[in-house]
Amino acid sequence: MADLDLMQALHRSTESKIVLLVIDGLGGLPLDSSGPTELEAAKTPNLDRLAVEGATGQIVPILPGITPGSGPAHLALFGYEPLTFKIGRGVLEAAGVGMHVSEGDVAARGNFCTVDKKGNITDRRAGRIPTEDAAPIVKLLDEIELPDVSIEVRAVREYRFVVVMRGKKLYADLADTDPQKTGVPPLPVQALNPEAGPTAELINTWIEHARKALAGRTIANAVTLRGFSTNPSLPQFQDVYGMRAACIAVYPMYKGITDLLGMHILSFAGEDPQDEFAATAEIWTGHDFFFVHIKKPDSMGEDGNFEGKVAAIESVDAALPPLLALEPDVIAVTGDHSTPSQMRVHSWHPVPVLLWAPATVRPDRCKVFGDRECAQGGLGTFPSAQLMPLLMAHAGKLEKYGA
Amino acid sequence: MADLDLMQALHRSTESKIVLLVIDGLGGLPLDSSGPTELEAAKTPNLDRLAVEGATGQIVPILPGITPGSGPAHLALFGYEPLTFKIGRGVLEAAGVGMHVSEGDVAARGNFCTVDKKGNITDRRAGRIPTEDAAPIVKLLDEIELPDVSIEVRAVREYRFVVVMRGKKLYADLADTDPQKTGVPPLPVQALNPEAGPTAELINTWIEHARKALAGRTIANAVTLRGFSTNPSLPQFQDVYGMRAACIAVYPMYKGITDLLGMHILSFAGEDPQDEFAATAEIWTGHDFFFVHIKKPDSMGEDGNFEGKVAAIESVDAALPPLLALEPDVIAVTGDHSTPSQMRVHSWHPVPVLLWAPATVRPDRCKVFGDRECAQGGLGTFPSAQLMPLLMAHAGKLEKYGA
C-alpha cells in the first residue's frame, strides 16, 4: 500500500490544527568547520523554545546526496514521494509565474535563441538578454493567434519564457526542440506518440509565426521549447489527508505547486513573515492545515550572503508570537532543502526539523534549533515524505493500522 | 529482492541462540516534558547493563506516525514488512481467543447487535452487554449445526465474538454485513467474487439460524459479521531464517500470530516474567530463536497507569537473571509499539531497542536503557522489520551478500 493510500485510509477528522512552516533553504553549512551554520548563528529564542519543548530530527528531501529542485522538495514535504509523483518542467515554470495549467493544457518552457541567416543557432540563450529587453519580445509572441486554441506567453527572466496552450485534444507527449548545440537549426516539435501528432503540428505552426514576428531582430530572433507537460493530476491534498489546507506564500512557484494539490491559495498584502502570519490568522477558522512558506533565507543563501540568511531566519523567529498565539496543536518548522550560503545553490544536506505538539510529542534532548543539534534529535533522520504522517499522528488525525 | 527472500538466501545454521524479548507497549511519554518516561523512571539494572554492553536505537513499527495494531506490529518484529504481509481481522480475532484457522477455513469477527420488530438495527453494539451476559448467547450460536461444515463460535469480550467455519471449498472474499448505521437491517453476506457465492449462501443460512436462536431476546437479538478472512499462508519462519523458533507468551493473540508463522508455541504454568523465563529454559535445547512476550506493560499503559507500567517493566528486569544465565548469544529487548500511559492507547512513537551480543556488537555510548537514551544510540532509528536481519547477523547466522 503506497503511503498516500495509507493516509487516505487512516485519516480522521478532528478539530486540531497543523502549521507547517517552511523556511526555504533552511539547512546550511558553517563558513569554517569550527563555526556555526546560518541557523546556528541566528538568534532564535522562539524556535529554540519550540525545539526544547518538542522533538527534533533531520529530513532528507529525496535520497541522501540528491539535491532537489523546489518542485520535488515541496511534493516530498506534502507526503508525495518525489521519485513517484512528478511535475513537468513546463507546468512548474508556469506555476513559477502564476499561470494555471489545467488537465489537458500543454505548458512548455521557452528560451529565446539567436539564429543566423541560414536559420542555424549561433547562441542558445540569445546573449542572456536582460529581463527588461525580453518583455517586448514576449509581448510579440503573446499576440500570436491560432484557430481553436488559446495561447498565453509570459516572461520568466532574461531569455526564458513560458507558453501555455489551452484547447481541445492537446497532448504533451512532445520532444524538446533545443538541439543542445549551435550551428544547427532548432528542431521541429516531434510527437512522441501518434495521438500527439496534431499538437506537434499546431506548435510548429506557432513557432513559424514566432519566427516571422521576430524576423527583423538580430538577436533573440528564434525560440526553442522544452519540458512539454500538462497538469499531472496529482492526488488532491484534501482527499489524501481529509484536511482543508491553506497556502500562505509570497512567491508564485509555491502557490503554483499547492494549486496542483488543490490547496486554498491565500492573497494578502505584504511580503514579510509578519504579513504571512497575519494572513494565517485571518483564515484560521475554516482550515485545518496551514502551509506557510518563507522565501528569503533561500534567496540569501543563493546570493552567498551568510549574514543575510542569518538575519532572514532571525526575522522569522521575531515574527512568530502572533502565530503561536493562535495555539496550533502541531507546529513543524523545517525547510524544503538546504541552501548553504557558501555554496550559493540548493544542496542535498539534510534539513533540520522541529516538531512541536505539546499534547503528544516525546521530547528529546535538543537544547536549541540548529543543524547539528537536530542531527541528534529524537525523531532521527528520515525522508521528507514521511513528515506529513508524523504531523497527522501528533494532531490525533490518524486511526490505528491493523488490529 | 524482498527482504525475506534475502534472509532465505543468506541464512546459515549455527549453534548460536537468539532471544527476542518483547515488552509490549514498551515506549512511552513523560507525564510532563521535563519528567521521565515510564522506562526512564523504572529501575532496571539488568537492562541498563545490557544496554551499556550492547548497542541501542529506536525502531519504527510501520512508518513514522503510523500507530500499529498488535498484528502488524509483531509481523514487523519478525521481519515481515507489515504493509505487504497482512493478517485478516477475522483470523487475528480468532488468534486472540486461541482458535486455529487453517488455510481454507473462514474466520470472521462478529458483533451482537439489537434489532427492532422490523429487523432494523437500533444498537450496533447491543448496549455493550457485559462479557458474562454474552457467554450464554455465544453458546446458543455455537450449537447451530449445518451440513458439510463445522462451525465454531467463541466469545471475545462484551458484544464481540469470533466465528470460524471449516469445510471444503470455503472462500473468504465476502463483504462485511455491518451497515455502519442504525435504522436499517444488517446486510446479507455478499460474495466479492463468484467463487465465494456458495460460502456467502452458507453463512447467510447460518445467520438465519442465529436470528431464530436469538428471537426471544430484546437486546443482542441479531449479529453482524466482518473481516472475513482465512489463514494468509505467510512464509514460514523456519523457511525464512533457518531457525527453530519457540513462542513463549501468555496471551492467545501472540500465540496465534506466531502459530501463523509456524513457530513452536509453548504451554507452561504461570503468567509472570519469571514463569516465562523458566519455560524458556526448559526448551533451551532444541530451539535457536526464542520470542518471549511480556504483556503487562501494555495493559498498564492502556489503563493509564504510569506507576503500574513502571512496576511491570521493573518486574521484567528483576526476573532476567535466569534468562541471562542461559547465555544466549544475542538478546534484543524492545517493544512491538509504544503505549504511553498518558495516552492510554497504542501510539506511533518509536520504540527503544537494545541489542546485546558480546561477541559481535559495536557498543555505543548508551548509559541506561531509556527512550531518549536509545534515540541517540548507535543503531539509529530504523523500521522494526529490519531488526531480524540485525539479530541474525550478530548471531553469525548470515552469509555475505555478493562476492
Residue B371 has its nearest CB partner, among A362, A377, A381, at A362
For the domain made up of B3-86+234-394, give the CATH fold. Alkaline Phosphatase, subunit A (3.40.720)
C-beta atoms of A393 and B65 within 8 A:
yes
C-beta atoms of B69 and A403 within 8 A:
yes
Q: Please check the confidence at residue B64 and state whether its pLDDT lies above 60.
A: yes
Q: Please check the confidence at residue A239 and state whether its pLDDT lies above 80.
A: yes
Model confidence at A266, pLDDT cuts 50, 70, 90, reads: very high
Alpha-carbon dihedral angle through residues B319, B325, B330, B332, given to the nearest 10 degrees? 0
Complete DSSP assignment for B130-183: -HHHHHHHHHHHHT--BTTEEEEEEEEETTEEEEEEEESS----B-----SSSS
CB of B381 closer than 8 Å to CB of B375: yes
H/E segment holding residue B321: helix B321-325
CA-nearest of B9, B5, B1, B4 to B399 is B9
Taking the Cβ of residue B285 and every Cβ of chain A, the question of whether any pair is shorter than 8 Å is answered with: no
Q: Please check the confidence at residue B143 and state whether its pLDDT lies above 70.
A: yes
Distance from CA of A312 to the nearest CA of B (A): 30
pLDDT for B388 equals 98
Cα distance between residue B49 and residue A100, in whole Å: 62
pLDDT for B34 equals 84
Calculate mean pLDDT across residues A301-305: 96
Sequence letter at residue B202: L
CA-nearest of B374, B383, B403, B267 to B26 is B374
pLDDT for A403 equals 82
Q: Please check the confidence at residue B28 and state whether its pLDDT lies above 70.
A: yes
Closest residue in A to B348 (Cα) is A393
Sorted by where each begins, the domain ranges of chain A are 3-85+234-394, 92-229
Residue B69 has its nearest CB partner, among A376, A390, A401, at A401
Taking the Cβ of residue A396 and every Cβ of chain B, the question of whether any pair is shorter than 8 Å is answered with: no
Q: Where are the beta strands (DSSP E) in B216-296?
A: 222-229, 245-248, 264-265, 289-294
For the domain made up of A3-85+234-394, give the CATH fold. Alkaline Phosphatase, subunit A (3.40.720)
pLDDT for B387 equals 98
Calculate mean pLDDT across residues B96-120: 95
Sort out which chain A residues have CB atoms less than 8 A from B376's CB and list them: 365, 376
Taking the Cβ of residue A380 and every Cβ of chain B, the question of whether any pair is shorter than 8 Å is answered with: yes
Calculate mean pLDDT across residues B177-206: 96
pLDDT for B33 equals 80
C-alpha distances (whole Å) from A94 to each of A99, A152, A168, A231 are 5, 10, 19, 10
Distance from CA of B348 to the nearest CA of A (A): 7
**DSSP label at residue B195:** G
Q: Please check the confidence at residue B136 and state whether its pLDDT lies above 80.
A: yes
Taking the Cβ of residue B31 and every Cβ of chain A, the question of whether any pair is shorter than 8 Å is answered with: no
Distance from CA of A360 to the nearest CA of B (A): 8
pLDDT for A28 equals 98
Phi, psi of B244 (to 5 degrees): -85, 115
A312 in helix, strand or coil? helix
H/E segment holding residue B77: helix B70-77
Closest residue in B to A358 (Cα) is B33
Cα distance between residue A166 and residue A162, in whole Å: 13
How does pLDDT run across B336-381, given as a tens digit for each residue? 999 999 999 999 999 999 999 999 999 999 999 999 999 999 999 9
Cα distance between residue B164 and residue A160, in whole Å: 68
The residue of B34, B58, B59, B63 whose CB has the most chain A CBs within 10 angstroms, and thus the best one to mutate to test that interface, is B63
Sort out which chain B residues have CB atoms less than 8 A from A3's CB and list them: 63
Sort out which chain B residues have CB atoms less than 8 A from A390's CB and list them: 64-65, 348
Model confidence at B172, pLDDT cuts 50, 70, 90, reads: very high
Sort out which chain A residues have CB atoms less than 8 A from B256's CB and list them: none
Which residues are CB-neighbours of A49 under 8 A, at least 6 positions away?
Answer: none
The residue of A11, A387, A401 whose CB has the most chain B CBs within 10 angstroms, and thus the best one to mutate to test that interface, is A401
pTM for the full predicted model: 0.93
C-alpha distances (whole Å) from A359 to each of A11, A257, B19, B68 are 19, 31, 35, 20
Closest residue in B to A385 (Cα) is B64
A313 in helix, strand or coil? helix
How does pLDDT run across B220-229, given as a tens digit for each residue? 999 999 999 9
Residue A401 has its nearest CB partner, among B33, B58, B72, at B72
**DSSP label at residue A261:** T
H/E segment holding residue A123: strand A121-123
Interface A–B counts its CB contacts (< 8 A) at 100
Taking the Cβ of residue B92 and every Cβ of chain A, the question of whether any pair is shorter than 8 Å is answered with: yes
Average pLDDT of chain A to the nearest whole number:
96
3-state secondary structure A208-252: HHHHHHCCCCCCCCEEEEEEEECCCCCCCHHHHHCCCEEEECCCH
Taking the Cβ of residue B58 and every Cβ of chain A, the question of whether any pair is shorter than 8 Å is answered with: yes
Taking the Cβ of residue A337 and every Cβ of chain B, the question of whether any pair is shorter than 8 Å is answered with: no
pLDDT for A1 equals 53
Cα distance between residue B230 and residue B170, in whole Å: 9
How does pLDDT run across B86-96, given as a tens digit for each residue? 999 999 999 98
pLDDT for B1 equals 56
Cα distance between residue A249 and residue A293, in whole Å: 5
Calculate mean pLDDT across residues A357-361: 96
CB of A203 closer than 8 Å to CB of A188: no
Taking the Cβ of residue B44 and every Cβ of chain A, the question of whether any pair is shorter than 8 Å is answered with: no
ipTM at complex level: 0.91
**Reported CATH class of domain B92-229:** alpha beta
CA angle A113, A115, A117 (to 5 degrees): 165
How does pLDDT run across A47-94, given as a tens digit for each residue? 999 999 999 999 999 999 999 999 999 999 999 999 999 999 999 999
Which residues are CB-neighbours of B57 under 8 A, at least 6 positions away?
Answer: B352, B353, B355, B374, B377, B378, B379, B380, B381, B382
